[in-house]
C-alpha cells in the first residue's frame, strides 16, 4: 500500500493540512521543528506524492503533452523531446508524448492526451512542414514545433532553412568553391526554402544563382535502391559533364552518404576534388563518413526548449512564427 498524507499525519499527531504544508507548501507557517519531524516521518514511511490527487484538485497535471505527427523513429524526435524535457523539468513538469500514425487522427490523439489533463499541449512534426490544425484545436494546442500552423492561429517554431542554406553556401564560397551543385530533397518545404537560401547566397557572392544546378534526390523512396541509383546517376552526370562542380551540397546527411559512395565510384577525392556539405548533423552518420562530414545541425533541441518556455510562461503570441538558427558543424569534408 502506498502511504498518504493521512498516514503521516496520524503518526505525527498533527492534521493532514499541516503535513501538506510541511512537505509541499514552502511558505506555510509552522515551526521548523514540526516541519522537520514530518519530513522525517514521510521519509521513513516512503511517502510519494500522489500527483493524480493533486492534479484533480488543481485541474491539471504537471505534464506537457506532445502530439507527434508521425511514428517517432528519427533521432531528431528524441532531440525535441529532450529539449522540452530539460526546460519542463525546471518547472517540475514532465513530458508526455503520444504519436499519430496507425490510423489515429489528430482529434483522437489530442483527446487521448487531454484525458490526462496536461498543463499545456504542443504539436511536433517530424520534418519541417505546414500543418493545418482543425480550428477547434487551435486554442488547445499552445505551440507548434518544427511546423507552421496553416492559419497562423498558433505560435510556431521552425528551423531557419533559408538562413541555414545561406550560411553553408557562403561557407563553401569562402572556402574557395565556385561551382556548387545542390542535390536537394524534392517536394519538401525544407528543400524549397533551402534552395532559395542557396541561390541567394550565390547571388550575393557575385555567382549566378539562377543558373546553379539543383537536382532532386527521390522523395519517399528514400530508403530504396532507386534513390540510391538516382543520386549515383546525378553525381556521375555532374562529374562527367562539362562543368564539374567543386562542391556538392546535399539535402541531408543520408543523401550525403550516397553522394560519398557515388564520388568514390567516379574516383573523385573529398574534399580535394569536390567538397561535400549537408544538413541535419545525424551524428552516427556524419561523424563516421570518411572524411567526416561538414553539416548544418538542425535546432531540434532548441525548438523543444523554447516550446517549453513558451508553454510554461504562457506568453505565447498566437500566429507568431519564430525561426531558429541551425548550427554549422565543421568536420573535414570541405
- The contact set with a second copy (CB under 8 A) reads 2, 48-53, 55-56, 59, 61, 71-75, 77-78, 81-82, 85, 94, 96, 98-99, 111-112, 114-117, 223, 225, 228, 254, 257-258, 261, 264, 282-285, 287-290, 292
Least CB distance from residue 24 to DNA, whole Å? 4
CB-wise, 30 or 56, nearer to a second copy?
Answer: 56
Least CB distance from residue 122 to a second copy, whole Å? 16
CB-wise, 29 or 115, nearer to a second copy?
Answer: 115
Least CB distance from residue 56 to DNA, whole Å? 4
CB-wise, 38 or 168, nearer to DNA?
Answer: 38
Residue 135 near residue 153, CB atoms below 8 Å: yes
Q: Distance between CA 32 and CA 28 in Å, rounded?
A: 10
The four Cα atoms 112, 115, 117, 118 give a dihedral, to 10 degrees, of -10
| Owner of C-alpha cell 532548441 | 302
Positions touching DNA (CB under 7 A) are 2, 4-6, 13-18, 20-21, 23-25, 29-31, 34, 47, 49-50, 53-54, 56-59
CB-wise, 120 or 207, nearer to a second copy?
Answer: 120
In the three-class reduction of DSSP (H, G, I as helix; E, B as strand; rest coil), residue 219 is classed as coil
Least CB distance from residue 67 to DNA, whole Å? 21
Residue 73 interacts with, from DNA, a second copy, none (CB under 5-8 Å by kind):
a second copy
The set of residues, in sequence order, having a beta carbon less than 8 Å from that of 45 and lying 6+ positions away, is 3, 7, 8, 11
Residue 88, all three cell numbers: 519542463
Alpha helical stretches, state H, the chain? 5-12, 16-23, 32-45, 51-58, 75-89, 106-114, 161-174, 189-204, 225-240, 253-265, 283-286, 300-313
CB-wise, 201 or 238, nearer to a second copy?
Answer: 238
In the three-class reduction of DSSP (H, G, I as helix; E, B as strand; rest coil), residue 133 is classed as coil
Amino acid at each position: 500500500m502506498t502511504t498518504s498524507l493521512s498516514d503521516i499525519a496520524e503518526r505525527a499527531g498533527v492534521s493532514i493540512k499541516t503535513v501538506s504544508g510541511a512537505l509541499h507548501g514552502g511558505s506555510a507557517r509552522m515551526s521548523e521543528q514540526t516541519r522537520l519531524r514530518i519530513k522525517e516521518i514521510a521519509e521513513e514511511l516512503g511517502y510519494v506524492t500522489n500527483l493524480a490527487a493533486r492534479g484533480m484538485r488543481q485541474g491539471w497535471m504537471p505534464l506537457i503533452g506532445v502530439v507527434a505527427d508521425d511514428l517517432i523513429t528519427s533521432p531528431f524526435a528524441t532531440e525535441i523531446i529532450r529539449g522540452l524535457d530539460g526546460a519542463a523539468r525546471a518547472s517540475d513538469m514532465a513530458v508526455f508524448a503520444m504519436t499519430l500514425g496507425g490510423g489515429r487522427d489528430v482529434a483522437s490523439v489530442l483527446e487521448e492526451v487531454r484525458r490526462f489533463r496536461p498543463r499545456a499541449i504542443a504539436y511536433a512534426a517530424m520534418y519541417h512542414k505546414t500543418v493545418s490544425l482543425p480550428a477547434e484545436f487551435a486554442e488547445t494546442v499552445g505551440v507548434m514545433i518544427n511546423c507552421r500552423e496553416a492559419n497562423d492561429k498558433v505560435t510556431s517554431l521552425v528551423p531557419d532553412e533559408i538562413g541555414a542554406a545561406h550560411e553553408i553556401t557562403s561557407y563553401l564560397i569562402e572556402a574557395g568553391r565556385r561551382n556548387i551543385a545542390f542535390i536537394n530533397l524534392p517536394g519538401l518545404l525544407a528543400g524549397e526554402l533551402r534552395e532559395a537560401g542557396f541561390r541567394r547566397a550565390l547571388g550575393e557572392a557575385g555567382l549566378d544563382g539562377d543558373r546553379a544546378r539543383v537536382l532532386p534526390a527521390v522523395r519517399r523512396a528514400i530508403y530504396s535502391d532507386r534513390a540510391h541509383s538516382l543520386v549515383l546517376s546525378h553525381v556521375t552526370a555532374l562529374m562527367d559533364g562539362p562543368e564539374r562542380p567543386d562542391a556538392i551540397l546535399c539535402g541531408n546527411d543520408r543523401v550525403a552518404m550516397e553522394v560519398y559512395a557515388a564520388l568514390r565510384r567516379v574516383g573523385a577525392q573529398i574534399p580535394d576534388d569536390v567538397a561535400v556539405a549537408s544538413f541535419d548533423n545525424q551524428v552516427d552518420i556524419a561523424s563516421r563518413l570518411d572524411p567526416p562530414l561538414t553539416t548544418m545541425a538542425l535546432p531540434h533541441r532548441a525548438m523543444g526548449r523554447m516550446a517549453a518556455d513558451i508553454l510554461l510562461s504562457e506568453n505565447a503570441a498566437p500566429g507568431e512564427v519564430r525561426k531558429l538558427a541551425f548550427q554549422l558543424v565543421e568536420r573535414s569534408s570541405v
